[in-house]
Chain A
Amino acid sequence: MHTESINDKKLSLTLVDAIIFKHNVQPGAVIPVLQEIQEEYGYIPPAAIQRIAHHLGVFASDIYGIVTFYSQFRLQPPGKNVIRVCHGTACHLGGAERLTEAISQHIGATEGKTSKDGQFTLERVACLGCCSLAPCVTVNGEIHGRLNPESVGKVVNKLKEEKTANVE
């Protein structure tokens, strides 16, 4: 079990630099660089944007423009657990909105937000491509399918229990 979540991590400019240099400081590598930074910190810290702009010799606003264009990038740190509800066609027909509503109640955060205790972030994703298991969600990357508002509650409660167990 992970004890320290990525969102606790302090920004290290050395690490950011290392990522940028790994990709040969090329403007074409901005997206992979941002992806690696997000992998590391869970989001794109503003200081990292400045750093990339500095090394590539472009305006920070250009980098910011890229970050906001692609839905994968976050500008806020996520909670310890990230729940993403699939809103593909099959999941929509199968009640994705109701799943979102139910999860929202369980975790105390609405779509796009993080719960006050920092435990959960609820996001939407266009399609996970697991349509035959609709409606589905991913919890920290793991897919759970054929859910309903009740069974998704069990998935969330299990995460809450794990948290309690960790604390003990």
Chain B
Amino acid sequence: MKRVDDKALVVKVGLASCGIAAGGSRVFGVFKSKLEGKDLDVELKPVGCIGMCYREALVEVSSLQGRVFYGQVTPERVERIIDQHIIGGRPVEEWTVPQEEIDSFMSRQKRIVLRNCGIINPESIEDYLDSGGYMALHKALTKTPLEVIDEVTRSGLRGRGGAGFATGVKWLMTMKATGSPKYVICNADEGDPGAFMDRSVLESDPHSVLEGMLIAGHAIGATEGILYVRAEYPLAIQRLEKALEQAREKGFIGSEILGHDFDFSISIRQGAGAFVCGEETALIMSIEGKRGMPRLRPPFPSVSGLWGRPTNINNVETFANVPWIIANGAEAYAAYGTEKSKGTKVFALAGSIARGGLIEVPMGISIREIVNEIGGGTAGGTAFKAVQLGGPSGGVIPASMSDTPVDYESINKTGAIVGSGGMIVMDEKACMVDVAKFFLNFTQDESCGKCTFCRLGTRRMLEILEKITGGEGSEADIATLEELAAEIRKSSLCGLGQNAPNPILTTLKYFRDEYMEHIKARKCPAKKCQALITYIIDAAKCPGCGLCIRYCPVNAISGNKKEPHTIDPDVCIRCGLCNSICRKGAVIAV
């Protein structure tokens, strides 16, 4: 087998969804055509996501001399990179990502789940094998199931999907449960808006998840694995299908795997766009071909799951941790993190952040370190206001509490949750009432309708928030919101309903002033809520180009060419298109 690394130079192009959307495929294509026919000692390699999404399309040129990253690469830049760097040996300095930037983005990270992401070719099982892939499966199969479970338990790994339940304990319960066959389900129905950890792992290193599932299968005595993947992730599905095919060919999936008395098959099921199916009992309903509505637990799926059989469900990130833990030992994993939250956590860093992307940090790191050091502060240097953790089930944590360590216990104390790992950074332009409304709009839309308080309570809360952002709120509304929140939490069956009030409760807790400003002064301090703002045109800045006139959907803007335009506030619907479109920043909200 020819090893890729034998080449003097390796050119890696990031081709996960973000990279492709940023033009990575075209960049890869140009590299391919321009390198072809040249007698160069170079290997061109498609890789997944290295995490620096803000720099996509990203190209890495690595050699014995070190690694050089090029950010925001366009097809036009490829030729010079080839001529000057690959042939000439001199990196094109003005296009490279500065070393200090790479250091501050990377040095605080510990990449266990993301160990291969952006490094190996996700479509090549050889690449995965070269990086030690499937060695953990070899090792696990020489151990008894109880020994494997003990290793996972001692590592302190907790479910990374959001609930944080001890993985080893879950495995043990499923192993001990009677019933056959047993199932292993990988929950890849990553539904939280603002979260893309699982997508990136599946697109960048699919075999690590398959290997984790296989090890779980051996540990609990299962024979069948199912990957439940969101239909919104077509590339992840495509790469998983390829990985499954390769793993079957090599005998890692099938019967008598690696010569042991262990049979295991894995298939893919696509989700059909229902957020609630991230809840394990709803997910099982969906696989059984029903409406994805959660049911009362117990019995837990580990006792009675898919088709009434013992079923172990973990999410993508949890499974991707497992091979590393088996290969390196529980102690090595537990060396990272805090007393109760061991290991690392992957976060999708997005929103108003200078360096948004996919990061993996040891548990216990502070929010400040993540936002300021790794993320480089807010985009455009605006004032950092809050982070939102845990999506619609989580909450906001204000900038004043940035020293909070990111671990399950400390984050829960704030009223937010670690959740699956979406971390949205918000600056002064974000209105906290609007943020609460956004999440509530989401949960009430996604509520399956089974529990009355979740179905109707979230609806009522949304109406109140609409009233407040519409400039018709009263102080009594706040009390009603708090009362409803408590009732919804008590009377909902699953996490969707129980946690639905979190975005409201945390914004009320930390940004009550902002609610009051909406209610009493009828003002939105962040200038976001349409009913509470008016758009005007700054005559001094307006060049009279007519662009806003063309875009205005209600013809509220008038003015002659090359003369300052004006907006008729009675006609204006405050959609804000003119504000976005104006190149001179002449349209302002007051």
| Bound-state Cα–Cα, A23 to B431, Å | 49
Q: Contact at B581–A89, with CB atoms within 8 Å?
A: no
Interface size of B by CB at 8 A reads: 62
Q: Contact at B289–A28, with CB atoms within 8 Å?
A: yes
Which residue of chain A lies nearest to B23 when distances are taken between CB atoms in the complex? A145
Q: Is the interface of A mostly helix, strand, loop or mixed?
A: helix
In the complex, how many residue pairs between chain A and chain B have their CB atoms under 8 Å apart? 155
A95 at the interface (CB under 8 A from B): yes
Q: Contact at A35–B194, with CB atoms within 8 Å?
A: no
B194: chain A residues at CB < 8 Å are 88-90, 127, 131
Return the contact of A93 from the options B20, B195, B424, B575 (Cβ within 8 A): B424
User: 1/0 contact trace for B534-547 toward A, CB 8 Å?
Assistant: 00000000000001
A19 at the interface (CB under 8 A from B): no
User: 1/0 contact trace for A69-88 toward B, CB 8 Å?
Assistant: 11111000000000000011
B369 at the interface (CB under 8 A from A): no
Q: Contact at A132–B18, with CB atoms within 8 Å?
A: yes
Q: Contact at B233–A129, with CB atoms within 8 Å?
A: yes
Q: Contact at A70–B234, with CB atoms within 8 Å?
A: no
B356 at the interface (CB under 8 A from A): yes
Most A-side CB within 10 Å, residue of B21, B199, B275, B429: B21
Return the contact of B191 from the options A105, A126, A133, A146 (Cβ within 8 A): A126
Return the contact of B575 from the options A31, A90, A98, A148 (Cβ within 8 A): A98
Which residue of chain B lies nearest to A88 when distances are taken between CB atoms in the complex? B193
Q: Contact at A129–B199, with CB atoms within 8 Å?
A: yes
Residues 435 to 488 of chain B near chain A (Cβ within 8 Å): 435, 438-439, 442, 446, 448
A27 at the interface (CB under 8 A from B): yes
B53: chain A residues at CB < 8 Å are 132-133
Interface size of A by CB at 8 A reads: 48
A26 at the interface (CB under 8 A from B): yes
| Bound-state Cα–Cα, A105 to B21, Å | 24
Residues 48 to 97 of chain A near chain B (Cβ within 8 Å): 65-66, 69-73, 87-90, 92-93, 95, 97
A32 at the interface (CB under 8 A from B): yes
B580: chain A residues at CB < 8 Å are 95, 98, 148-150
A–B pairs, 20, beta carbons within 8 Å: A31-B272, A31-B286, A66-B289, A66-B290, A70-B272, A70-B292, A71-B273, A97-B576, A98-B576, A98-B577, A102-B577, A125-B273, A127-B191, A127-B192, A127-B193, A129-B232, A130-B17, A131-B356, A141-B234, A150-B547
